[in-house]
């Protein structure tokens, strides 16, 4: 992100050493509400101020999530090939509508997620974690981003969504492309194609999964609505959850004496750590977008024109708020102070946030139980991020540890179909995992 022109550029091809430094420079030049270039020739605004982000997210009179109000898009200035087009296109999803229709769709999502018990989520996550850890634990080294954090959420979603065969791998690759803005039009089409296949299959053979529960929900969703709600949930459960796992692991690696304990850290200790990370290094960057129905005056005589996209910089808002108010986000107060905006704010706050944090907590604890002494393979200051309009993605998280034996087949609880052991030794890698390891 650079600002050599009146608009700060929100896309960058080269890895960046300090994402928050980029935000700090934008704020220093433009103030907390920044005029930005979302893509070449496509302009909007970025809210990096905590109080403003919360206020505007709650103001459903002035602002809407309905992207049909985006004037540049309506005038044909945002083509279907634009990196952010598939993530902002008008659709029948809870994130893109307001009022009664939003409440109808959101209720279907929360009811479907609510049917997943904490025990099942923990069991499925543990099984997926063991499957992945068995793949690298004997080596004594691993890239915990590519080999663990990014691989685990698709394995969990494969089970919870009722996906079969290679659907989970295809969908995970497509969602990653959407968040990164890589070939976004094709990624968006592929994600919807996979989910349409899932919905068609669940009409023929319903099961105990999110897709089946949405199909039979009393809100009477159309198939297109089911696909869109699944896409919303999976978008939050895949790449953002991977980013949160990565952030928590980086926090663990920065303070090994606290976290390298026999049997792994307690769930309560990890809960507190996750909350601190959600304040200081949250997983969602600049999403979703609001669209003002009327012109919104700012300082310095500036005006946000009606129909201009306003991206919510949740990570920046959290980061700068806690830096400027350390006494309100102190280590000892985190459990009581969960007012962060890591998952958004207002009526559109992410409905899958509890599931994402639960998956993260289980994944990190299981890793530390299996690998009791991981240490960074490179200094933290040498880590790099790739910045895109909607998100940033770490390049890698290499670690070293004392080599461990793979887990016994009976040690892991039941989990996703097709990932169970078949005979003695370590569980074989599933077809989904083999596909995931073929990096796009």
pLDDT at 435: 53
Tens of each residue's pLDDT in the chain, 440 residues: 443 447 888 776 677 777 788 889 989 999 999 999 887 788 899 999 999 999 999 999 999 999 889 888 777 777 666 666 666 777 788 988 999 999 999 999 999 999 999 999 999 999 999 999 999 999 999 999 999 998 898 889 888 988 887 787 788 788 777 766 667 677 878 888 999 999 999 999 999 999 999 999 999 999 999 999 998 888 777 888 998 999 999 999 999 888 888 888 888 899 999 988 998 888 888 888 999 999 999 988 999 999 999 999 998 999 889 888 877 765 544 444 568 999 989 999 988 889 999 999 999 999 999 998 999 999 988 888 877 776 777 889 999 999 999 986 534 333 333 333 333 333 344 555 555 544 44
For the chain, domain boundaries = 8-436
pLDDT at 429: 46
pLDDT at 74: 75
8 Å CB contact between 104 and 219: yes
The 3-state DSSP class for residue 412 equals coil
**Distance, C-alpha 148 to centroid of its chain:** 15
pLDDT at 155: 87
Which residues are registered as beta bridge partners of 46? 34, 311
Which of 276, 231, 264, 199 minimizes the C-alpha distance to 95?
231
Give the tokens for residue 284: 């969602």
Rounded Cα distance between 44 and 160, Å, is 36
Rounded Cα distance between 258 and 281, Å, is 19
Question: Which is the CATH superfamily of the domain at 8-436?
Answer: Cytochrome P450 (1.10.630.10)
Exposed e or buried b per residue across 103-139, where buried means at least 16 C-beta atoms within 10 angstroms of its C-beta: ebbbebbeebbeebeeebbbbbbbbbbbbbbbbbbee
Gyration radius of the chain's alpha carbons: 21
Indicate the DSSP class of residue 314.
H
């Amino acid at each position: 992100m650079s600002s050599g022109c009146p608009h700060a550029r929100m896309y960058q091809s080269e890895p960046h050493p300090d994402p928050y430094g980029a935000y700090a420079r934008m704020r220093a030049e433009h103030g907390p509400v920044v005029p930005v270039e979302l893509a070449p020739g496509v302009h909007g605004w970025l809210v990096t101020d905590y109080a403003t982000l919360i206020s505007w997210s709650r103001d459903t009179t002035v602002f809407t999530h309905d992207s049909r109000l985006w004037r540049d898009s309506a005038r044909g200035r945002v083509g279907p090939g634009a990196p952010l087009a598939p993530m902002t296109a008008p659709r029948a999803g809870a994130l893109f509508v307001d009022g009664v229709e939003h409440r109808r769709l959101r209720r279907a999502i929360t009811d479907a997620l609510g049917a997943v018990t904490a025990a099942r989520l923990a069991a499925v996550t543990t099984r997926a974690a063991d499957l992945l850890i068995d793949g690298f634990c004997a080596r004594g080294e691993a890239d915990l981003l590519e080999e663990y954090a990014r691989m685990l959420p698709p394995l969990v979603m494969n089970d919870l969504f009722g996906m079969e065969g290679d659907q989970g791998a295809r969908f995970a690759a497509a969602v990653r492309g959407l968040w990164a803005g890589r070939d976004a039009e094709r990624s968006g089409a592929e994600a919807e194609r996979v989910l349409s296949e899932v919905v068609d299959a669940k009409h023929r053979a319903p099961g105990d999964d999110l897709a089946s529960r949405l199909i039979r929900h009393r809100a009477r969703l159309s198939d297109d609505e089911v696909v869109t709600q699944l896409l919303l949930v999976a978008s939050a459960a895949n790449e953002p959850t991977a980013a949160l796992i990565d952030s928590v692991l980086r926090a663990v690696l920065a303070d090994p004496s606290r976290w390298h304990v026999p049997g792994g850290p307690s769930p309560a200790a990890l809960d507190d750590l996750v909350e601190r990370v959600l304040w200081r290094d949250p997983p969602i960057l600049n999403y979703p977008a609001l669209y003002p129905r009327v012109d919104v005056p700012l300082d310095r005589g500036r005006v946000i024109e009606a129909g201009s996209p306003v991206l919510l910089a949740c990570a920046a808002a959290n980061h700068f708020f806690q830096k400027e108010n350390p006494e309100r986000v102190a280590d000892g107060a985190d459990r009581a102070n969960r007012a962060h905006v890591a998952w958004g704010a207002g009526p559109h706050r992410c409905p899958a946030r509890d599931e994402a944090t639960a998956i993260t907590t289980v994944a990190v604890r299981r890793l530390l139980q299996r690998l009791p002494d991981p240490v960074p393979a490179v200094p933290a200051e040498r880590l790099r991020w790739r910045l895109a309009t909607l998100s940033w993605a770490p390049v890698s998280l290499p670690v070293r540890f004392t080599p461990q034996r793979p887990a016994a087949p009976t040690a892991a609880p039941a989990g996703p179909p097709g990932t169970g052991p078949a005979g003695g030794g370590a569980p074989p890698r599933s077809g989904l995992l083999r596909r995931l390891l073929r990096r796009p």
